[in-house]
Structure formats: C-alpha cells, structure tokens
A and B are shown apart, each in its own frame.
Chain A
Amino acid sequence: MTTFPLAAYLGLSAVLFVLGAYGLLISRNGIKILMCIEILLNSANLNLVAFAAYHRDALGYVMAMFSIGLAVAEAAVGLSILIALFRLKRRIDVDWLRSLKG
C-alpha cells in the first residue's frame, strides 16, 4: 500500500477547511451551510486521524470517532431546525432571517 507523507494529509485537510469556511461565509441556502460545516468537521477529523497514524496514538482515532458522532447529532439538529423553518416560512434561505438584528 502506498503511504503518503503526513504533509499530504495536512494539505488536503487545509484545502477542505478553506473550502468549508469559504462556503460557510458565502452560502445563503441553509442546507449548503450545514454541508459546509460538515466539510469543516471532516477536515478536522482528517487531521486527527492523520496525526493518530503518524504518532501511533489511538487517542486521535477516539477523538475522530467522537467528532463524527457529534457531527451526526449536529446535522440532525440543524436539519430539523431547517425543516421547522421551512414549515414556518416556506424558505430555507438564511440571509433574510434578520429578526435577531440588534
């Protein structure tokens, strides 16, 4: 099996992170925002797993598992919020949700 250097994983992770962050900042669609958050989380997971393999330390895998579990919960909560929102307003765009404006 081909082994890649650590830097490759980190680089991929960084690219994913930037993509996620960029998407998060510009998207208006709620679903897209959730997806971007997933990408951000997974870039972090990739980091954790890569370092776990590099240091031969199982703690990193454990953290990644936790993170995935958390991401599931987060996605469930986020999607249900969006569904509730959709039922209420018939839209899932977030840029007009400004009732919290100070």
Chain B
Amino acid sequence: MSSVPFELAWLIPLLPLGAALLIALFGRWLAERGGWLAVAAGGLSLSLAVPIAWNGLQLREPFTSSFGWFAIGQLQLRLGIYLDQLTALLLIVVSLVSFLVLIYSIAYMHREGPRLRRYYAEMSLFLGSMLGLVLADNYLMLYLFWELVGLCSYLLIGFWYERPAAAAAAIKAFLVTRLGDLFFLVGLLLFLIDFKTLSFAELFSLQVSPQRPWLLGLGTLFFFAGAMGKSAQFPLHLWLPDAMEGPTTVSALIHAATMVNAGVYLVARTMPLLIRAPVDLLVIALLGGFTALFAATLATVNTDMKRVLAYSTISQLGYMFLGLGAGGFAQALTTQEGAGYAAGLLHLLNHAFFKALLFLGAGAVMHAMSDSTDLRRMGALWPKLKLTGTAMLIGALANAGIPPMSGFWSKDEILAAAFSGGHPALLTAWLLGFATVFLTSFYMFRLWFLAFAGRPRWPEGARPHEAPPLMAWPLVILSLFALSSGFLSSAGLRRYISLGEPHLMPARELLAQTFANPWTILSSGLALAGLAIAYLLYHRGLDLARYRTALGGSVYRLLLERYYLDRAAITLARRVTVGFARLLDRFDQAVVDGLINGIGRASVGLGQRLRRTVTGSINDYASWILAGVALFLLIYVIWR
C-alpha cells in the first residue's frame, strides 16, 4: 500500500467536488440523474482514502502540503492538507460511510425523478466539503469547509422544501448552527489577532505569549461553542431532531455519521492548544456528560423513529465530548496518556458505523411502511423485515453498549477515563454518563420492540416488504462494522490514536482487564436492565398505568414538551429579539435618521443664506476675491 503517495490526498476532496459540479451542470443527461457519477466519485475517494489513511496512521510527523492562497499585509493564508492520525481516522469514517450511503440512495431516492440531480449534486458537494474539512491544514480553511457542510446540511434538510415543516427545519438548523459558527469565527479572529497565524503546524508548535495566557483559553472556548452548534450539544441541540425532516439518507450521512462529528473533530484537532487551558476541558467534559443524559431522557418518550435516533445521536456526541475533555484533562495535569481522547475518537468511529446502520435501517422500515416514521403505527414487522430487523438489532445492541458490540468498548473507555480523571467535575460528568447507559439501552430497545415486536398497529393498506438489494448490502456491510469495529479498534487502531505516549496492552490482556473492572460489569448490567424493561413494557405489554403517579405524569409531560426548550427559544426570539429590534428601530429612526436629516436640513438652510452672495456679477466676485486677499493679508500682518 505504500505505493500511494500522500500528495494524492489532494484528490480525495476534489473528486466529489468535481462530481458535484458535473452533476449540477449535466445531471439531466446522466444515468440516475448523476447518482452513479456520485457513487463513482465517492468510490474513487474511498479507494484513495483507505491506503492514504492507512499510511497516515503510521506517520510520526504530520504530512503537510500547501500553497499560498492570499496575503493580507504580513499575514499569509494558505490552502493545504494536514494529514495525521486524526485526519486519517476521519477520512476512513467519512469516505466509507458516504460511499455506502450513496449506494443506498440509488435505491432509496429512486422515486424522486428529476430532483435527483439536485440531491446528488448536494450530496457530492457535502462529501467533498467534509473531506476537505478533515484535511484542512489551517483554521480558516477548516472554517470555509465548516460553513460549506453547514450549507449542504441546510439544503438537504430542506430537500422537500414544499413541505412547510421541512423548510422550517432547514431554516432552524441553519440559524442554530450559525449561532455556533459565529462563536467559532470570533475565536478564529482572536487567534488571528494574537498569534498572527491560523496554520495548525505553526499554532501547535507556538509558545503562548505570556502577556495574555487567558486568550488561548478564551479562543479555544469559542471554538468549542462552534463545535456545540455543529455537534448539537446542549443548548444548541434544538436543530438536530427537526433536521430529520430531510431524506433518511441525509440524516444517516450528515446528521449521524459525518457532519455532526465535525464539532468533535474540531475539539480533537484543537487538543494541543486545549491542554494548555484545562478549565476549558472540564467545561467540555461536563457539558458533554450533561448533554448525553439530557438527550437520552428526551429519546425515551419520542414516538418518531428518526427523532429517537436523532436524540440518541446528540447523546452519543455528548459521550465523545466527555471522552475528549477527560482525556485532555488527564494529559494536561499529568503527563500520562489521556486515554479518554482515544476513547472519544474511537467512539466517533464506532458511532458513525452503528448510527448510519440504524438510520439506513430506519430508511428501510420507512420504505416498507410507505414513509411513515411513527412508532405507534408499526409493530410486528419482524416476520416481514428479517434482514432490516437483524441489522437494526445489531445497531441497537451496539448503540446500547452491550458487550461485545462496538458501542460498548469505546463508551466503556470513555467512562473509565472520566472516572479516573481526578477532578470532581469529571466525576460528575462520569455520573451523568453512567446514568445515560441505562437510558440509552432503554430507548434503543423501546424503538426496536415498538417497530419489530408486539402486535401490528399498521395503518390501513400497509404491505411491508423487504428492501431491494442496493439498500440491503450497505446494511449488511455496516452491520459487520457495527459488530466488529469496537474490539478491533480498541485493540488495534488504538495504538495510533493517542494523546501522549499510548498505554498499550495485547488483546487478551485488554479483554481480561475490561471485564475485571466492576464498573464495567455494572454498566453492562445497567444496559441489560434497560433492555429488560423495554422488553417488559413494549413486547410483553406490561401496563404502566397502574403505577402512574402525579410526579411521573408531570415528568412525562415535561419530556414530551422537550423541557419546553423549543418554546423558550421561540419566546426568546419573539420577546427579546423582536423587542431589541424595535429598540434598534427607534434608535435608527430618531438618532441615525435624525442625524442624517439634520445634516441635510442644515445644509439647505446654509445654502439659502449663502445664495445671496452668488449674484452672478463678475465685479462682485472680483470684490470678494480682493476683500478676501486683503483680509488674509491683514490677519498675516497682525498675527505674524
């Protein structure tokens, strides 16, 4: 594999971007309106990305290649690629999942007809931008692609723009993520002003200016705020559940496996700077742990299949941030390896596979149930959809973190890293994450049992049927990854992705140690308990009504209303923003307009007076000139 030179990494994002352009221009005449071209570009990118990433994992120093883009004064801005282990990991995740999703799209989106051109052009643009984002060698370029993936997300959520809900969801996603992006931009400017560079290589080798050490912490905190928007962390999580209005393939690719990971990637990329600001890392870990629990509670009551998965995504992203924060903090305080860093990133890898699997499975279920996502209208699909059911069962087991599935390994390492983090904040975050284990398992199996078990509650005339082969194959491949990627990555890939000197152990020892840890046993027990309760409630039909208490009822209402946060956001927008806008309007009318009109009126008045001097008579003008010269002479003589 060593024959593929790293310079070819330039082609990885350029191929899908080129495909996007071609599809946008000539999609009308292409097979499947450009679908196969998008698949081909994605496949070529994948076949380049795999060997390059494989070699990249073994690099000692990051590979960089760049050229000058533009210069502002002393400031040189460059376009380039920065390839290290982190980039390699993301390259594999992004290119592999997108390739599978694009193949799946051919079958899933087939009915869309002429609109497919727009779909494949936007998907290819997204893929190219996402690959560019992980390959970027400086923050400005990263920001550029960051905005591009945000744009693609907006366009694809609103793919069925004639539906008001989809159009509103697209706008909501755009506005909420933009709020985060704004913080990212402020952080970027702070860095630019103080460090005069945005290049990763230069920033990571930089010594902090001793006059302003707080600036690093503040700038990176702003970066994290940007990551919160992209990765849907509380309180900027509002957009992700609504983003499910887009096609399911879009949810699988953008809102589960790739774009939402951009925030995690940004924090991981900034880690060399973040470990100089340990307080930021505690904030990241705590907010991640909180979001994990918070989103998991919301997933337990939702009746929309895709939205349950969306809340699950938010929750799992919270785990990743918890891992990164804990790992970075350990590295910042001691010089030991921050194990949570690797665990968080491996969780990103595992999550991308099992969540893409779950979403594509949900797509297959929707395909079978004439596009319905309502869990209350499903049930007993197992005999009809054996393959989809198996795939989703594997995904659910992986997401729930039941050993030996993939989610278990990385989640367990994250919790272990937070537990041994040595700070009360990390311990709090661990507790939040630990409680989430139970809820995760509960809501995942609630979803599975509601869809595939129990009695059929199908709408009139529903005829569930298994997915066509083009949709089935990606499910099978992703199932294999969801089964195996956890242990393989923890035992194998782990050695390449580490913060500080990795603490390695052979596979057998890893197994022995993992299952000797009482907390691991307990968390697995919790996960199994969640499974059991979901089984009792949604398969055996245990009636909860007898146990319903006033408190339980109000908690249920609170969860159904999503903690009233969406309403609060709307109220905030109505009252505060509109009120503020009114205030500004009044200021604009009175002060700004008043100033301009006043200047105009004064000029007119002055002109009215001055016009009397303009008689049109040359002799008068000559007298003015002479009088003026005489006056100046007089002044000169007197004040000489």
Partner-B contacts on A (CB < 8 A): 21, 24-28, 33, 94-95, 97-102
**Which among B38-46, B169-177, B607-615 touches the partner chain?**
B607-615
A100/B614 in contact, CB under 8 A = yes
Residues of B within 8 A of A95 (CB): 617-619
A101/B623 in contact, CB under 8 A = no
A100/B616 in contact, CB under 8 A = yes
A102/B618 in contact, CB under 8 A = no
B622/A25 in contact, CB under 8 A = yes
What is the CB-to-nearest-CB distance from A44 to chain B, in angstroms, rounded to a whole number?
A: 12
With A21-B626, A102-B610 already in contact, the answer to whether A33 and B618 are too (CB < 8 A) is yes
The answer, among B614, B619, B623, B626, for a CB contact under 8 Å with A102, is B614
Residues of A within 8 A of B622 (CB): 24-25, 33
Q: Complex Cα distance A46/B634, Å?
A: 22
B619/A94 in contact, CB under 8 A = yes
Number of residues from B at the complex interface, CB < 8 A = 13
What is the CB-to-nearest-CB distance from B197 to chain A, in angstroms, rounded to a whole number?
A: 57
What is the CB-to-nearest-CB distance from A53 to chain B, in angstroms, rounded to a whole number?
A: 24
Residues of B within 8 A of A99 (CB): 616
A98/B619 in contact, CB under 8 A = no
The answer, among A24, A25, A98, for a CB contact under 8 Å with B615, is A98
Q: Complex Cα distance A4/B614, Å?
A: 45
Sorted nearest first, the 5 A-B pairs with minimum C-beta distance are A102-B614, A101-B616, A102-B611, A98-B616, A100-B616
Q: Complex Cα distance A98/B618, Å?
A: 9
Q: Complex Cα distance A65/B623, Å?
A: 27
What is the CB-to-nearest-CB distance from A77 to chain B, in angstroms, rounded to a whole number?
A: 15
A94/B618 in contact, CB under 8 A = yes
List 8 contacting pairs A-B, 8 Å CB cutoff, sorted by A. Answer: A25-B623, A33-B618, A94-B619, A95-B617, A97-B616, A101-B614, A101-B615, A102-B612
Determine the residue in chain B with the shortest Cβ distance to A95. Answer: B617
Q: Complex Cα distance A98/B614, Å?
A: 10
Q: Complex Cα distance A100/B615, Å?
A: 7
A interface footprint on B609-640 (CB within 8 Å = 1, 0 otherwise): 01111111111001100100000000000000
Q: Complex Cα distance A100/B610, Å?
A: 14
B610/A25 in contact, CB under 8 A = no
Q: Complex Cα distance A99/B616, Å?
A: 6
A interface footprint on B184-201 (CB within 8 Å = 1, 0 otherwise): 000000000000000000
What is the CB-to-nearest-CB distance from A27 to chain B, in angstroms, rounded to a whole number?
A: 8
B614/A25 in contact, CB under 8 A = no
Determine the residue in chain B with the shortest Cβ distance to A99. Answer: B616
The tally of CB-CB contacts under 8 A between chains A and B is 37
Determine the residue in chain A with the shortest Cβ distance to B611. Answer: A102
Q: Complex Cα distance A98/B620, Å?
A: 11
CB interface residues, B 294-348, toward A, < 8 Å:
none
Residues of B within 8 A of A97 (CB): 616, 618
CB interface residues, B 582-629, toward A, < 8 Å:
610-619, 622-623, 626
A26/B615 in contact, CB under 8 A = no
Q: Complex Cα distance A100/B614, Å?
A: 8
A98/B617 in contact, CB under 8 A = yes
Query: 20 new A-B pairs (CB below 8 Å) besides A24-B626, A95-B619, A102-B613?
Result: A21-B626, A24-B622, A25-B619, A25-B622, A25-B623, A25-B626, A26-B619, A27-B619, A28-B619, A94-B618, A95-B618, A97-B618, A98-B615, A98-B616, A100-B614, A100-B616, A101-B614, A101-B616, A102-B611, A102-B615
What is the CB-to-nearest-CB distance from B617 to chain A, in angstroms, rounded to a whole number?
A: 6
What is the CB-to-nearest-CB distance from B621 to chain A, in angstroms, rounded to a whole number?
A: 9
Q: Complex Cα distance A33/B622, Å?
A: 10
Determine the residue in chain A with the shortest Cβ distance to B610. Answer: A102
Residues of A within 8 A of B618 (CB): 33, 94-95, 97
Q: Complex Cα distance A94/B617, Å?
A: 7
What is the CB-to-nearest-CB distance from B487 to chain A, in angstroms, rounded to a whole number?
A: 92
What is the CB-to-nearest-CB distance from B498 to chain A, in angstroms, rounded to a whole number?
A: 82
What is the CB-to-nearest-CB distance from B604 to chain A, in angstroms, rounded to a whole number?
A: 13
Q: Complex Cα distance A33/B623, Å?
A: 13
Max chain B C-beta neighbours (<10 A), residue from A33, A98, A99, A101:
A101
Residues of A within 8 A of B617 (CB): 94-95, 98
Q: Complex Cα distance A26/B620, Å?
A: 9
What is the CB-to-nearest-CB distance from B518 to chain A, in angstroms, rounded to a whole number?
A: 97
Residues of A within 8 A of B615 (CB): 98, 101-102
Residues of A within 8 A of B611 (CB): 102
Q: Complex Cα distance A97/B619, Å?
A: 11
Determine the residue in chain A with the shortest Cβ distance to B607. Answer: A102
Q: Complex Cα distance A95/B617, Å?
A: 6
What is the CB-to-nearest-CB distance from A36 to chain B, in angstroms, rounded to a whole number?
A: 9
Q: Complex Cα distance A99/B623, Å?
A: 19
Max chain A C-beta neighbours (<10 A), residue from B611, B612, B615, B622:
B622
Q: Complex Cα distance A44/B617, Å?
A: 25
Residues of B within 8 A of A98 (CB): 615-617
Residues of A within 8 A of B616 (CB): 97-102
Determine the residue in chain B with the shortest Cβ distance to A37. Answer: B622
What is the CB-to-nearest-CB distance from A65 to chain B, in angstroms, rounded to a whole number?
A: 23
Q: Complex Cα distance A19/B614, Å?
A: 25
Q: Complex Cα distance A97/B617, Å?
A: 7
Q: Complex Cα distance A98/B626, Å?
A: 20
Q: Complex Cα distance A36/B615, Å?
A: 21
Q: Complex Cα distance A46/B314, Å?
A: 93
What is the CB-to-nearest-CB distance from A31 to chain B, in angstroms, rounded to a whole number?
A: 13
Q: Complex Cα distance A25/B613, Å?
A: 16
Determine the residue in chain A with the shortest Cβ distance to B623. Answer: A25
What is the CB-to-nearest-CB distance from B629 to chain A, in angstroms, rounded to a whole number?
A: 10
What is the CB-to-nearest-CB distance from B627 to chain A, in angstroms, rounded to a whole number?
A: 10
Residues of A within 8 A of B626 (CB): 21, 24-25
Q: Complex Cα distance A33/B620, Å?
A: 13
Q: Complex Cα distance A102/B613, Å?
A: 8
Q: Complex Cα distance A26/B623, Å?
A: 10
CB interface residues, B 95-134, toward A, < 8 Å:
none
What is the CB-to-nearest-CB distance from A94 to chain B, in angstroms, rounded to a whole number?
A: 5
Q: Complex Cα distance A31/B623, Å?
A: 18
What is the CB-to-nearest-CB distance from A92 to chain B, in angstroms, rounded to a whole number?
A: 12
Determine the residue in chain A with the shortest Cβ distance to B622. Answer: A24
Residues of B within 8 A of A26 (CB): 619
What is the CB-to-nearest-CB distance from A16 to chain B, in angstroms, rounded to a whole number?
A: 15
Q: Complex Cα distance A26/B619, Å?
A: 7
Determine the residue in chain B with the shortest Cβ distance to A26. Answer: B619
Residues of B within 8 A of A25 (CB): 619, 622-623, 626
Residues of A within 8 A of B613 (CB): 102
